[in-house]
Structure 1
Amino acid sequence: MEIEIATIGGYEEVGRQMTAVRAGNDVVIFDMGLNLSQVLIHDNVETERMHSLDLIDMGAIPDDRIMSDLEGDVQAIVPTHGHLDHIGAISKLAHRYDAPVVATPFTIELVKQQIESEQKFGVENDLVKMDPGESMTIGDHGCELEFVNVTHSIIDAINPVLHTPEGAIVYGLDKRMDHTPVIGDPIDMKRFREIGREGEGVLCYIEDCTNANKKGRTPSENVAREHLRDVLYSIEDYDGGIVATTFSSHIARVKSLVEFADDIGRQPVLLGRSMEKYSGTAERLDFIDFPSDLGMFGHRKSVDRTFKRIMNEGKENFLPVVTGHQGEPRAMLTRMARGETPYELDDGDKVVFSARVIPEPTNEGQRYQAEKLLGMQGARIYDDIHVSGHLNQEGHYAMLDALQPQHIVPAHQDLKGLSGYVKLCEGEGYHMGRDVHVSRNGNLIQLVD
């Protein structure tokens, strides 16, 4: 059976992930993502109203024209998890393919919300839920799609595996090796080891290289949880304002913030559209049980009313958890920093960043500006209370040992970011150009003729 891989998006940057695998006449697409930084550099862009061709020209979504060179029919579109760099282009591109979107329940719900907010295209693809550990038949030629549970900085993440007569194709974006997660099950390393040793083994491993140049092992989310606990307990006696910010999609981190706010005698409240969206969805699907009196407010008027209430009743009684950890211009924390909300920052007030800057120039510049503005109002910054959702080098080594793939395709980085992974692979006996395939967006890799 011919096996071919199209590296469509995410092979020259972090963002707009999209990969297609052709096994015979059957094609599976993994991820359709958005590069948000390419949107944020433009003022007042509303992607919901934009045509896909304009977004492709901006470099915001994958250029999927290479799909016309794949001789087969798309059988499934499979996003690995609910981050925008993996699902953000589904509402713009999925309607071109007569295939269902297959994902875990939380991811499907986020995809559904993306489609409902779309104002340019009618997306009528079926949305099919599949849990980690389950499988489904793909096409009529002996291929099967399996979901393997992984841990990441969002709940309900998986690595999909396409089993073909020539061996398994393991799509490894995105994960960290967390054996003690705050929410959900640990990464299923037992199943990865089985896949590496059963049947024809692993024909190809497509891997997320975000942290491939970092030594050591990515810590568990429990490490970030204890760091966050230590920081909040250390400022328990402060009688002014404390504000926290983190990734809205990081439900485990939000859970910790809510719990520790209560521990230090403050009422938590979640503020911002995406904060309300992700936490509300997770609670509705029973992934988490928040306190019944936890306020979640996304609409600007509701948020400002909440800020007025906080100022009236005393900042010392509340812990607002807000959007804006990357300094996004319209996010809640940035508006607070510019003095555009009823919440007034005073000298000594604490701002806790339970997130790192995504290493990309737009984000770094916006975050720098936000921190400067906060500092000008007298805020004290508590930074980098976080662990990554991606594997460091020892995690990559463990995955190669588990899967023992015949071929490797590094992804999710630029060429500099891929270098550490290529070096690691070559140390394990692989060679670039022979069985390590460093690709660019819009390329085809022929694995089996």
Structure 2
Amino acid sequence: MEIEIATIGGYEEVGRQMTAVRAGDDIVIFDMGLNLSQVLIHDNVETEKMHSLDLIDMGAIPDDRVMSDLEGDVQAIVPTHGHLDHIGAISKLAHRYDAPIVASPFTLELVKGQIEGEQKFGVDNDLVEMESGETMQIGEECELEFVHVTHSIIDAINPVLHTPEGSVVYGLDKRIDHDPVLEDPIDMERFREIGREGEGVLCYIEDCTNAGRKGRTPSESVARRHLKDAMQSMEDYDGGIVATTFSSHVSRVSSLVEFAKDIGREPILLGRSMEQYSGTAERMGRVNFPDDLGMFGHRKSVDRAFKRVMNEGKENFLPIVTGHQGEPRAMLTRMGRGETPYDIENGDKVIFSARVIPEPTNEGQRYQSEQLLRMQGARIYDDIHVSGHLREEGHYEMMQALQPQHIIPAHQDMKGFAPYVSLAESQGYKVGRDLHVTSNGNTIQLVE
């Protein structure tokens, strides 16, 4: 059976992920993501109102024209998890393919939200829910499997396409976490089984984000302990405390909510995406928040919440807000610019339970946001966080588990690929033979 990989997006940047695997006459697409930094550098861009071709020209979503070179029919569109760099282009591109969108339950709910907010295209692809550990038939000879992984969002999976020539493992966005906060540990046992059953692993497509960092990525439970220690140190402070984190990181948000209560403050979630992710997780029973937890996304309701905080005393509340990357329209950035009713005063604490995404636009915006907050006297608590991506030792562990015949680095630019290439070469892989460094828009023929 011919096996071909189309590397469509996410092979020259961190963002707009999209990869297609053709096995014979059947094609599976993994991810359709947005490159948010390409949107943020433009003022007041509303992507939901824009045409896909304009967004492709901006470099904001994948240029999927290479799909016309693949001789086969798309059988499934499979987003791996609910981050925008993996689902943010579904509402712009999925309607081009006569195929269902297959995703884990939480991811599928977030995809529904993307589709419902779309104002340019009608997306009527079937939506199919599939749990980790389950499988789905693809054509007559292939099978799709979801393997549970741990990341900085719940319900993440690594999809595996089992073919007669071996398995193709799409390994983007995970860390090896044996003690997560809200869900099961990563299923390393299943990865080891896949590496040793049948024809083994034909190809492993891997996220290279932290490949240049030594050691292993700590567990989310480590970030939870770090956060608890920082917040307990503020227990006697009688001024304002504000926290920000990835709104999609429901595990971290739940820890912030819990520790706010522990130090005698009422947590409030503020920002549209904060309400969206946490509200969805709560409705699905994936997290247990206090019954009285306020979540506010719309501008007027957010401002009313801020006025209540100021009237009743900042010392009684912990606003948990969007804006950890300094995004121009996010809550924390607006607070830094003095555009909300919340007054930041000398000595107030701002907790960044997130690291800046290593990309120039984010780094510049985050720097500006922190400077605005410091100018008002805020004290910054930085990097109370653990990454959602594998470091060096995690990559070695995955290679050992899967023992892939071929490896394709992804989720980076050429500079970001370099540490992973060195790491793979140390394990006997060779560029041009079984280690394929590629770019957006290319195809790689694995089996002819």
TM bracket (short chain)? over 0.9
State the distance in 1 between where 2:242 and 2:424 align: 43
In structure 2, the partner of 1:101 is 101
In structure 2, the partner of 1:28 is 28
Post-superposition Cα deviations, 1:1-51, rounded to whole Å, max 9, x if no partner, equal: 000000000001100000000000000000000000000000000000000
State the distance in 2 between where 1:250 and 1:56 align: 28
| 3-state SS in 1 of match to 2:307 | helix
State the distance in 1 between where 2:15 and 2:344 align: 34
In structure 2, the partner of 1:63 is 63
* In the alignment, structure 1 residue 77 sits paired with structure 2 residue 69: no
* In the alignment, structure 1 residue 280 sits paired with structure 2 residue 300: no
In structure 1, the partner of 2:155 is 156
In structure 2, the partner of 1:421 is 420
Pairwise CA distance, 1:417: 0.8
* In the alignment, structure 1 residue 395 sits paired with structure 2 residue 383: no
State the distance in 1 between where 2:426 and 2:359 align: 29
Letter paired with 2:213? K
In structure 1, the partner of 2:224 is 225
State the distance in 1 between where 2:434 and 2:182 align: 37
State the distance in 2 between where 1:245 and 1:84 align: 18
Q: TM-score, normalised by structure 1?
A: 1.00
| 3-state SS in 2 of match to 1:425 | helix
Output aligned runs, 1:233-272, within 5 Å: 233-272=232-271
| 3-state SS in 2 of match to 1:81 | coil
Pairwise CA distance, 1:139: 1.1
State the distance in 1 between where 2:335 and 2:428 align: 53
In structure 1, the partner of 2:189 is 190
Output aligned runs, 1:9-408, within 5 Å: 9-140=9-140, 142-408=141-407
| 3-state SS in 2 of match to 1:136 | strand
CA RMSD of the aligned region, Å?
A: 0.4
Letter paired with 1:35? N
Q: TM-score, normalised by structure 2?
A: 1.00
Pairwise CA distance, 1:97: 0.1
% same residue: 82
| 3-state SS in 1 of match to 2:320 | strand
Letter paired with 1:103? A
| 3-state SS in 2 of match to 1:446 | strand
- 5+ residue gaps, structure 2: none
State the distance in 1 between where 2:11 and 2:182 align: 30
| 3-state SS in 1 of match to 2:102 | strand
State the distance in 2 between where 1:65 and 1:153 align: 31
Pairwise CA distance, 1:291: 0.4
Task: Report the count of equivalent residues.
Answer: 448
Pairwise CA distance, 1:333: 0.4
| 3-state SS in 2 of match to 1:230 | helix
Pairwise CA distance, 1:396: 0.2
State the distance in 2 between where 1:214 and 1:154 align: 21
| 3-state SS in 2 of match to 1:447 | strand
Pairwise CA distance, 1:367: 0.5
Letter paired with 2:100? P
Pairwise CA distance, 1:203: 0.2
State the distance in 2 between where 1:415 and 1:230 align: 38
- 5+ residue gaps, structure 1: none
Post-superposition Cα deviations, 1:152-197, rounded to whole Å, max 9, x if no partner, equal: 0000000000000000000001100000000111000000000000
State the distance in 1 between where 2:425 and 2:360 align: 30
| 3-state SS in 2 of match to 1:418 | helix
Pairwise CA distance, 1:129: 0.2
State the distance in 2 between where 1:427 and 1:200 align: 24
State the distance in 1 between where 2:225 and 2:156 align: 23
State the distance in 1 between where 2:419 and 2:41 align: 29
Post-superposition Cα deviations, 1:236-270, rounded to whole Å, max 9, x if no partner, equal: 10000000000000000000000000000000000
| 3-state SS in 2 of match to 1:199 | coil
| 3-state SS in 2 of match to 1:65 | helix
Pairwise CA distance, 1:416: 1.0
